[in-house]
Structure 1
Amino acid sequence: MAEQMRVLNIDGMTCGGCVASIYSATADIDGLLTMSIELTDNQATISYDDSKTDAETIAAAIEDAGFDVTIAQA
């Protein structure tokens, strides 16, 4: 396992309900280790096991929940 950490910029978050929706949308992703969402910064910091998932998969799950996501450069 190689743990990776990335920052996701998330547009469209306006309230705690949005944060809850993102946590719900990503809850079943195998390999997502931690996620910390900062509503005021429109960012999420994620750590994941890169042998099981990647930042693009996590970002896609958040996009499927109705948000626009870009992965910050490492």
Structure 2
Amino acid sequence: MEDLLLKIDGMSCGHCVGQVTKALTQLDGVQVRSVKVGEALIAYDQGEIAPGDIARAIREVGYEPELAGRAV
């Protein structure tokens, strides 16, 4: 498992945190470490899922993820 810190634009409240958490927990190969307004820390299995797939799941619930200052 590799840790991944995502900055997430568009989050402003607890409901947003819940939506992102739900989207991430539904992905195989992802363990959610923490989600708070503006960011998520996860661990993911590189053999099961790619960072782009994780980003897509976040975009599908209406938010824009970034990794290390660049779009994922």
TM range (shorter): 0.7 to 0.9
Q: What are structure 1's unaligned runs of at least 5 residues? A: none
Aligned partner of 1:62 in structure 2 is: 58
- The separation in 2 between residues aligned to 1:69 and 1:13, in whole angstroms, is 10
Structure showing greater radius of gyration is: 1
Q: What are structure 2's unaligned runs of at least 5 residues? A: none
**Size of the alignment, in residue pairs?**
69
Deviations 1:28-69 (A, max 9, x none): 210002231121xx1111101111112221111001100011
Letter in structure 2 aligned against 1:31? G
1:48 aligns with 2:35: no
Check conservation: 1:6, 1:72, Cα contact below 8 A.
no
Aligned partner of 2:34 in structure 1 is: 36
Q: Which has the higher contact order (CA 8 A, sep 6+)?
A: 1
Identity %: 33
Check conservation: 1:10, 1:68, Cα contact below 8 A.
yes
- RMSD over equivalenced CA pairs, Å: 1.4
**TM-score relative to the length of structure 2:** 0.84
1:17 aligns with 2:12: no
